[in-house]
Amino acid sequence: MNLFRSLGNLHPLTSAQKDIWLDQAVQAQVPLYNICGHVEIDGLLDPERLQRAVDRLVQRHPALRTVLREGQGEDGLPLQSFVDDLAVTVQIHDT
């Protein structure tokens, strides 16, 4: 299968993406590929400016706008697409 073959805006998963997807399908209860964290900032923060920075980052990098389309591939695996706009809301908790 050609990894660069495109079906409109749908593209096959890479080998690494297939491995991760299959592993998560078999072991969904294991959060092996989930990465989370938080940042504590002392001092003033402009929430609107931070949100704009995250919006720009997501708009600049297609990998951050990748969506898996379940069951779209001819082999039953999902295909990936890159959406033009993906809203990511920065959650701010003031303590």
Q: How sure is the predictor about 7, in pLDDT bands with cuts at 50, 70 and 90? A: very low
pLDDT digits (tens, 9 = 90+) for 15-63: 999 999 989 889 888 888 888 888 888 999 999 999 999 999 999 999 9
Pairwise pLDDT comparison (66 vs 33), residue with the higher score: 66
Q: How sure is the predictor about 8, in pLDDT bands with cuts at 50, 70 and 90? A: low
Measured between alpha carbons, how far is residue 20 from residues 17, 57, 65, 69, 74 in Å?
5, 24, 17, 15, 19
pLDDT at 6: 42
pLDDT at 3 over 70: no
